[in-house]
Structure 1
Amino acid sequence: MKIVFFVHCFFPNHFYGTETYTLELAKNYKIMGFDVHVVSGIFTGEAAAPETISHYTFQDIPVTIIDKNKLPNSRVKDTYYQVEMRPILEQVLKTIKPDIVHVTHLINHTAALLEVTSELGIPTFATFTDFYGFCFNNKLEASNGSLCSGPSRSRNNCIACYIKDANYIESDNKLLQWLIKKGQFPRAAQLSNLLRKHPNLRHGSFDGLIEDLIRRPDTLLSLYSTYKTVIAPTQFLYSAYKNNGFLNPMQKISFGVDINRNSKSEKEKDTKPIFGYIGQIAPHKGVDILINAFCRLPRGSAELRIYGPKDQDAEYMETLFTKAKGHNIHFLGVFEKNKMEEIFNHLDLCIIPSRWYENSPLVLLNSLATHTPVVVSDVAGMTEFVDVGTNGYVFERGSVDDLERVLKKIIKNKDNLKELSLKTNYFNTTKAMAEKTIEVYDAIL
């Protein structure tokens, strides 16, 4: 049986959670005797490939890549349904001839893929790793920074998120431009939804933009009916899709991780605890919250190691460097996957201070698997893995004060970190994850 994965981007240039999940499934399927293939994309603006469709191999997995530089988005609708992708996707599928399509992300391919697989009669499954199916920014974060439950009936909250992300909307309405300048995005969205009805704007580009945003959730919901079954890695993500009208069968299968699960090396008594952060260095990840809280701790009471790309957001990074100076905080960049075990072995605590709804981040699972207790913000998608006082602690999302409180408590009772480590585990492997996923196919086919 041949199984093809569709993912928005892939190794070696992209290596975060969804890409890793896709790779691990493909590798395990291959070991199990299945024929596997990955179809990925090059984002518009990245280094272009010579052809629209090109091929390479990564870790013995054949990869086909579609260059979106050749098919750039011309409007918002193209970000979720781009009709021009249909012939390209059809060509790719007719060449590979899969028995099953498994989508791990639709960005770059867009939901046009689901029309093509339906017309070709290819059973299609998916794993949802974020909220792309109903949320404009994929993160369920409202324009004012609060957490969101999904599109409102008017879609004004989706329009507000677009305006915030773009920080611009083409209009000569002075009040609208003033609201945007002042960061009044919800009010700007309400006004935009009213302005589009003006006779001079109907059926123009402004009206089309708002219409694209309004139609997005329903368009995706309709096309998502193609999926035979969908896998959700967390109960929260499962519930979020159900609460936003997704009716297809869903199964919860937690992500698996492969890492040495041996006990941590013994440390000398009275050694300063080492705290760590591993991941993207960007505002939605809350690294500034962590640094601000850490800087309030007694000098010399702990060390903070931050692993992640230093070039992701230059302005944000500069503010972090400035704040961290003189506080025993070390920015250590990215590392090869085979260094993961060694890095966690030296950490006494892993901190994940995200501002948005995380969905079973692999760094959390690897931390638990290596007996490294965690401190996470109280957002669903992470808290379901934390038993407070047993394998970690939880703090109020976005609160420097509350994270400071938790870290001071840990430092005051630092011997408790050893006890936490002994109780911290995560047993699910990628092999077990792959076997459960194959069972999902078998139940339908």
Structure 2
Amino acid sequence: IFRVNLPRGKDGYRHPKMDDNFGQLLEKLQPDIAHIGHLNHLSTGLVDELVKRKIPIVFTLHDFWLMCPRGQFMQRNFGEDGELYQVCDGQEDEKCAKTCYSMYFSGQESERQRDLAHWTTWIAARMEETRGILAKVDRFLAPSRYLRDRFIQDFGVEKHKIAYLDYGFPLHYLTTEGSRKMEVFTFAYIGTHIPAKGIHHLIEAFGRLKGKARLRIWGRERAQETAALKSLARDLVQNGNQVEWMGEYVNQNIAEKVFLHCNAIVVASIWGENSPLVIHEAQACKVPVITADFGGMKEYVQHQVNGLLFRHRDPGDLAIQMQWAMDHPAAFQELGEKGYLYSQNGDIPEIRAHCEELGTI
């Protein structure tokens, strides 16, 4: 294992020193094939180093980074309706400059056109670079059909070069011993405290519930983001219910430390998540999931089949689904018992079987 990262290189995409070091590593290792999981915080030039040495490339897609400079098709600026972080309907160079990079403009009206031209040109060059990767990769893998289809329809990936293959999981730590007996119905969020995850919508929905309930939020705190969420919870949750901030957890202990201590997992992401790991992990432990009817989220949860769906980015509808779960706990748990939709026994894909299937692609 060789660990390397450019933590401050989020918007950069080509780093010659990184490319040179990678090339030296390839000369030392002489691999037969390369598997790319992401290029963000690394360098697009890694692909060229592999091509120069005629090393076949398999690239697993986890988000939209190749086709969207920000990676999630979520805009930074306020929309016409005043909503922040709107879902973007597609990549266009000038639109990207206006909606996602104007924060880097000087702020002087006399400089606006020059700033806009600069960032439009930067984005065009960046997109030319990432589009060039398509011809160099031998096979793309997408962990959801939604993501696969977006890359075919919106980015021009040829159908024969991209295959759907869901993630595989080591199942030994995804077992629960004991029962989930909560004093009150307990909803849970697991993940990072960033706007894209929609925790603010979850808190708003939780504040609308009638009856006694609890919301537990797991994940590493992020200074301003977490402080803002805690302030939001104090303002919006006035029904006597409690929001508990649980902090970090070790993923190998997720079944014992998280899933045994909640009745429902809520995935309220405001972007088009492709194949959320937490949905799979919850399904492995038969914890029912409430998530949005959008992207890969609705691909792995079907409403009233193995979980509940709410209208994407709609806290009011999320509250309705959460209320139903509270009011019908036995029926809700029955949905969770269905588990994963794409196996006969409801089990999520196991990592060894995943690797065997990978070898056939």
Class of the TM-score when normalised by the shorter of the 2 chains = 0.7 to 0.9
Greater shift after overlay, 288-297 or 210-219?
210-219
Letter in 2 for 1:96: L
Q: Which residue of 2 aligns with 1:296?
A: 208
Q: Following the alignment from structure 1 to structure 2, what is the Cα–Cα distance between the partners of residues 267 and 356?
A: 30
Aligned residue pairs, count = 341
Q: What is the Cα deviation at residue 314 of structure 1?
A: 4.6
Match of 2:198 among 286, 301, 309: 286
| Separation in 1, partners of 2:50, 2:167 | 26
Determine whether 1:215 maps to 2:153.
no
2:13 is aligned with 1:80: yes
1:159-198 map, 5 Å:
159-164=97-102, 167-170=103-106, 172-174=108-110, 176=112, 192=113, 195=114
Contact conserved, 2:169 with 2:351, CA < 8 A, in 1?
yes
Question: C-alpha separation between the residues in 1 aligned to 2:57 and 2:323?
Answer: 49
Once the two structures are TM-superposed, the CA of residue 397 in structure 1 deviates from its matched residue by 1.6
Question: Is there any run of 5+ residues in structure 1 with no aligned partner, and where?
Answer: 1-36, 45-71, 177-191, 197-205, 441-445
Matched, 1:233 2:154: no
Preserved CA contact (<8 Å) 2:101 2:119: no
CA distance in 1, matches of 2:202, 2:107: 39
Residue 222 of structure 1 aligns to a residue whose secondary structure is helix
Distance 1:217 1:297, change over 3 A: same
Deviation track 1:71-109 (CA, whole Å, cap 9, x = no partner) reads x69xx6xx1233443322212222232221111000122
- How many Å separate the matches in 2 of 1:330 and 1:108? 33
1:157 aligns with 2:95: yes
- The CA distance in 2 between the partners of 1:374 and 1:345, in whole Å, is 14
When normalised by structure 1's length, the TM-score is 0.70
Change (3 A) 1:435 1:160: farther
Alignment partner of 1:348 is 2:269: no
- For the residue of structure 1 that corresponds to 2:97, the secondary structure is helix
Mapping for residues 46-445 of structure 1, pairs under 5 Å: 79-143=12-76, 144=79, 145-152=85-92, 155-164=93-102, 167-170=103-106, 172-174=108-110, 176=112, 192=113, 195=114, 207-243=117-153, 244-247=155-158, 249-259=161-171, 265-266=178-179, 271-300=183-212, 302-311=213-222, 313-323=225-235, 324=237, 327-342=241-256, 343-424=258-339, 425-440=346-361
Q: Identify which range, 320-329 or 396-405, moves more after superposition.
A: 320-329
**Match of 1:277, SS?**
strand
2:97 & 2:157 partners in 1: Cα distance? 21
Compute the displacement of 1:321 (Å): 4.8
Letter in 2 for 1:437: L
| Aligned counterparts of 2:38 and 2:321: Cα–Cα separation in 1 | 36
RMSD: 2.5
Secondary structure at the aligned position of 2:146 is classed as helix
Instruction: Compute the displacement of 1:214 (Å).
Output: 1.7
Task: Compute the displacement of 1:402 (Å).
Answer: 0.6
**One-letter code of the match for 2:122?**
D
Q: Which amino acid aligns with 2:220?
A: P
Which stretches in structure 2 are left out of the alignment for 5+ residues? 80-84, 340-345
Partner of 2:342: none
Q: Does the 8 Å contact 1:395/1:406 carry over to 2?
A: yes
CA distance in 2, matches of 1:310, 1:299: 28
Partners of 1:161 and 1:439 lie apart in 2 by 42
CA displacement, residues 342-401 of structure 1 (integer Å, 9 cap, x when unaligned): 121332111000000112111110011111111001221110111211211111122111
User: Following the alignment from structure 2 to structure 1, what is the Cα–Cα distance between the partners of residues 177 and 306?
Assistant: 14
Identity within the alignment, %: 23
Larger radius of gyration: 1
What is the CA distance between 1:264 and its match in structure 2? 7.1
Q: TM-score, normalised to structure 2's length?
A: 0.86
Aligned-partner Cα distance in 1 for 2:215–2:110:
47
Contact 1:367 1:373 in 2 (8 A): yes
